[in-house]
Amino acid sequence: MGSKSSLLPADFEWGFATAAYQIEGAVAEGGRGKSIWDTFCHLEPTRTKGANGDVACDHYHRYEEDFDLLTKYGAKAYRFSISWSRIIPQGGRNDPLNEEGISFYSRLIDSLLKRGITPWVTLYHWDLPQALHDRYGGWLDVQESQLDFERYARVCYERFGDRVKNWITLNEPWIQSIFGYSTGGNAPGRSSTNDLSDAGNSATEPWIVGKAQILSHVRAVIAYNKDFKPSQGGQIGISLNGDYYEPWDSADSRDKEAAERRMEFHIGWFANPIFLKKDYPSCMREQLGDRLPLFTESEVALLEEAETDFYGMNYYTSQFARHRGEPASDTDFVGNLDELQQDKQGTPVGEESGLHWLRSCPDLFRKHLTRVYNLYGKPIYITENGCPCPGEDKMTCDEAVNDPYRIKYFSSHLDAICKSIVDDGAVIKGYFAWALLDNLGAFLSISQVFVANRFTEWSDGYGPRFGVTFTDYKTLKRTPKQSALLLRKMVTDRQGLSVTTS
């Protein structure tokens, strides 16, 4: 038996998360413009096993039904993303607004508030307006993209900020940069290492895109803090993905360095400039040289001015890192190491889920939380965490609604949060389970891919099921899984009640 120590704070925020392109559908309705995912999902040959977001879960027409589920599950909060091209179809700062799209999100927000559910809005979840990609290369133009993103953010603050008090600028900029512009497995599919890609430079483009997103975040934060927060009183952060890495050989200092280096390439790339207001990690500069863009004096001033309120953490799994003896290739993006799921002794990093790369590692999640808090000193909200159950992609609805693996995963990861708070002193203020619904490409909304694949295909279509609600993709009927009905109790049991600790 454990002690009465591993507790969540009484005001702990919790709920479920989704992303616009994965659930909304209605891609040609309501004045919405195309995004890079609309284009990518219709490429021939297909990159997404034939799946697309044209209908998805039809959330655009069924959001009231979906919010009834949130009420049924007892959720306090709901994290969703806004489609940039539904707000500004052409995307640019001088382009016209789409009042019909603005009205849709306004109704959606009101519907949540009517139910007593707190909206958490992500401004960008990978769905860049296609018009901006066509106009100037999208994120490859650092100057233009950050100015257009700032204007889009300001429109959202102006129209929704009277009711929305929790803002996330970007979801997983690492994924957008690496899978969109190095491996080519995500939109817009640029790569020089992927035979399916017809354009791109994997040695340079990811690092340019990363800088564009950092400065876009910074401009959106400065705009909010200066012109909106004084009257609206909200908070603003960013959601970063990243696994926790242990050394493959715990006795080898080179593997210890490799594990830390991998987390610097994964997290420090964005978190150091944003939260520490300093340059990228030195290990990145050392390996990448002049391929990693410098920050100008004026850009450094922007970094220093932008005060980001919280660290949004998207976490799913952990791995082992083993150093490599040979020099890194120009297209390496992990820090010149191998990522493995077993250590030198053959011990697996955790229990396997319904995806070969995702293993349940709650003890390492605790280390991850504590490391991030100690490094960056900001309150943490876990903005994504979840898994598919073993064999779930082949199950019927009646089979899938019984999901003991997911229940155990949620419970053990909540315990890890408790231990990080109470025993390690981390400040962790919320938890969002991924995802409310089984949806398009749940696989690719994930923070990590087993990099040995080099690239993946939001590209696994409608295969792996991460939802707490079973979606029948033919009828679109929603059916709650057991985990959805139990998450509330998991959280409330840890708010003021004892938890068994190991």
Residue-wise pLDDT for 73-88, tens only, equals 999 999 999 999 999 9
Residue type, 362: P
| pLDDT above 50: residue 442 | no
Tell me the pLDDT band of 441, cut-offs 50, 70 and 90: low
Q: How far separated are the first and last CA of the chain, in Å rounded? A: 8
Tell me the pLDDT band of 4, cut-offs 50, 70 and 90: very low
Could you tell me which of 64, 15, 24 has the C-alpha nearest to residue 440? 24
Tell me the pLDDT band of 440, cut-offs 50, 70 and 90: confident
Tell me the pLDDT band of 461, cut-offs 50, 70 and 90: low
Token pair of 451 as six digits: 């990099």
Task: Report pLDDT for 367.
Answer: 98
Q: What is the pLDDT of residues 271-308, one digit of tens each?
A: 999 999 999 999 999 999 999 999 999 999 999 999 99
Task: Report pLDDT for 497.
Answer: 52
Task: Report pLDDT for 432.
Answer: 98
Could you tell me which of 38, 59, 46, 39 has the C-alpha nearest to residue 112? 59
- Per-domain boundaries in the chain: 13-495
Task: Report pLDDT for 459.
Answer: 54
Task: Report pLDDT for 48.
Answer: 87
| pLDDT above 60: residue 239 | yes
Percent of the chain scored above 70 by pLDDT? Answer: 93
Task: Report pLDDT for 252.
Answer: 98
Strands 380-384 and 359-360: what pairing?
unpaired
Residue type, 151: R
Q: What is the pLDDT of residues 360-405, one digit of tens each?
A: 999 999 999 999 999 999 999 999 999 999 999 999 999 999 999 9
**Cβ neighbours of residue 205 closer than 8 Å, sequence gap 6 or more:** 140, 181, 182, 190
Does residue 420 contact residue 412 with C-beta atoms inside 8 Å? no
The fold adopted by the segment(s) 13-495 is TIM Barrel (3.20.20)
Task: Report pLDDT for 456.
Answer: 42
**Residues labelled as active-site residues:** 172, 384
Least confident of 267-276, 345-354, 410-419, 435-444: 435-444
Q: What is the pLDDT of residues 405-429, one digit of tens each?
A: 999 999 999 999 999 999 999 999 9
Burial 378-388 (b: 16+ CB within 10 A, else e): bebbbbbbbbb
Task: Report pLDDT for 463.
Answer: 78
Task: Report pLDDT for 389.
Answer: 98
Mean pLDDT score of the chain: 94
Over range 452-456, report the average pLDDT.
37
| pLDDT above 80: residue 462 | no
CA distance 13 to 5: 19
Over range 324-329, report the average pLDDT.
96
Torsion sign, CA atoms 106, 110, 111, 112: positive
Tell me the pLDDT band of 349, cut-offs 50, 70 and 90: very high
Percent of the chain scored above 90 by pLDDT? Answer: 91
Burial 15-30 (b: 16+ CB within 10 A, else e): bbbbbbbbbbbbbeeb
Tell me the pLDDT band of 451, cut-offs 50, 70 and 90: very low
Could you tell me which of 480, 473, 481 has the C-alpha nearest to residue 57? 473
Q: Count Cα neighbours of 186 within 13 Å in the Cβ-side half-sphere.
A: 27
| DSSP 8-state secondary structure symbol assigned to residue 92 | S
Over range 427-452, report the average pLDDT.
70
CA distance 348 to 360: 10
Tell me the pLDDT band of 455, cut-offs 50, 70 and 90: very low
CA distance 54 to 37: 10
Spatial strand order in the sheet of 318-323: 244-247, 318-323, 337-340
| DSSP 8-state secondary structure symbol assigned to residue 129 | B
Q: What is the DSSP string of 140-152?
A: G-HHHHHHHHHHH
Placement of tokens 């493959």 in the chain: 248
Neighbours of 124 (CB within 10 A): 27
Does residue 109 contact residue 164 with C-beta atoms inside 8 Å? yes
Does residue 57 contact residue 437 with C-beta atoms inside 8 Å? yes
Least confident of 42-51, 131-140, 426-435: 42-51
Over range 139-165, report the average pLDDT.
99
Task: Report pLDDT for 498.
Answer: 43
Over range 203-232, report the average pLDDT.
99
| pLDDT above 70: residue 6 | no
